[in-house]
Amino acid sequence: MSNFADIVQQLHTTFGSGRTRDVAFREKQLQNLLRMYEENHAEMARALAADLRKHKQEAYLMEIEFLMNDLRSTIFKLRDWVKPDRPEKTMVNMMDGVFIYKDPYGVVLVMGAWNYPLQVTLVPVAAAIAAGNCVLIKPSEVAPATSRFIAETIPKYLDQDCYRVVEGGVKETSELLKQKFDYIFYTGSGRVGRIVHQACNENLTPCTLELGGKSPCYIDSTADIAIATKRILWGKFINAGQTCIAPDYVLCSKSVQKQFLEEARSVLKEWYGENAKDSPDLCRIINQQHFQRLSSMIKGANVAIGGDMDASEKYIAPTVLIDVKACDPVMQDEIFGPILPILTVESPQEAINFINARDKPLAMYIFSKNEAARDALIANTSCGGICVNDTLGHFAVESLPFGGVGPSGMGAYHGKYGFDSFTHKKSCLMKDFNALGEKLASSRYPPYSDSKLSFLSTLLKKRQGFSIRFLPYALMFGVGVASALIVQCITERRN
């Protein structure tokens, strides 16, 4: 811990040397990271099994393959991403160069979470490398096997002058946040997110916070209940519900609830057998602290499905609760476990009112064939992202930004949005010493006059839809003024 200041200073020194700004260097490091994934995927799966008893299929689907696909796409597109943007120009800048350069922030801190300890740590790390930053990586200590894997393996593949890994718990993290970073990326709980944000405020450090919240799931009678049930249960119980965008609770009518429960009993038996505890496909709760927190939510509740628990194995059966009220313990905070409460509503508007009375969630799910109902929910609620007639799927679409709003987070990443998060957009207006351009600009200089003001007002007046593509028409619009200036300029040059 006493070495944190030295590590951060060394990274600042490396960044100052300009090494990570070279695009070829970034590509090489990203290729090395991809090689790390390809050569160590079995070890990665074993680490996830040790921390969460995560089945191999879940490990590959939700973490390992996700990492590799995201990274391959980043490597393929990086050369295009780093090029300066050339935004459209207005008439006043028709002779100038207008650019947006992509600058790395500098030394960035990436703090991962324990629920998907590889994916949510290393996806932003790859984005930060692609953007040209030096990176300090802090895996979650709550997933110790995965943290150890990252700490031991990263140095074998990435340049240690540019990319470092530190481990530790709350004490070490608190000390780390006292250091001066140029950007901080944090994934985790809202409680810790507030602490990270406060630390960022001390140095006016920009940050991305990927938090969570109680993501609602609305179902109406027009949905295909059999398919909807499977998709909702999969999104809820994968990783034992320890997913930041898992459906947190269901909103539906009494009649839909009855159909949902009938389907759910059949589906869960098909997936996990008569005794879900014996199934190798069901993850376990990460530790005893979270087990006790979750078990307290079930006590005293009306359990329609599941409810079985075993503290010695940190096992909680896939559980569905009914007759849930907004004031119940299970509705006070994000559940983050295999418990699905159902609350009854009789209309989309009632669902909208319920959702809007709470913090803005990270995700929202809508199961309906009714286009008007879907549109009403989308238009009249605020959340990080929406998935219609499925769960979790929007997370895997790299062309969609992933992030929260308000208490569920700030900023976004995935694909180019990750690159953009770790990139400062530097504006640049580039003029030359062209005589015509100077003549056009001369009206801004003293001595001032009404005629100069009139000319500047005409030049600066915003034309709806104008861009440099319409320059010929713009010149026609101001042909009288422009022609006179051109003739005057030519005459002066001849003299």
210 is catalytic: yes
In 3D space, the residue among 138, 192, 149 whose CA is nearest the CA of residue 51 turns out to be: 149
d(CA 358, CA 342): 16
Tokens of 189: 């709980």
Contact status, residue 62 vs residue 48, Cβ threshold 8 Å: no
Q: How many CB atoms lie within 10 A of CB 88?
A: 11
Catalytic residue among 58, 134, 200, 210: 210
d(CA 192, CA 180): 19
Structure letter (DSSP) for residue 300: T
244 is catalytic: yes
Instruction: List Cβ neighbours of 315 (8 Å cut-off, separation of 6 or more).
Output: 277, 282, 284, 285, 308, 309
d(CA 284, CA 128): 32
Tokens of 278: 């014996």
Contact status, residue 133 vs residue 104, Cβ threshold 8 Å: yes
Q: How far is CA 29 from CA 43, 79, 110, 151, 155, in A?
A: 21, 14, 17, 17, 11
Q: How far is CA 70 from CA 101, 361, 386, in A?
A: 24, 25, 21
Beta bridge partners of 409: 210
Q: How many CB atoms lie within 10 A of CB 333?
A: 16
Catalytic residue among 200, 244, 283, 387: 244
Instruction: List Cβ neighbours of 357 (8 Å cut-off, separation of 6 or more).
Output: none
Q: What is the DSSP string of 422-489?
A: TEEEEEEEE----HHHHHHHGGGSSSP-HHHHHHHHHHHPPPTT--GGGHHHHHHHTHHHHHHHHHHH
Positions marked catalytic: 210, 244
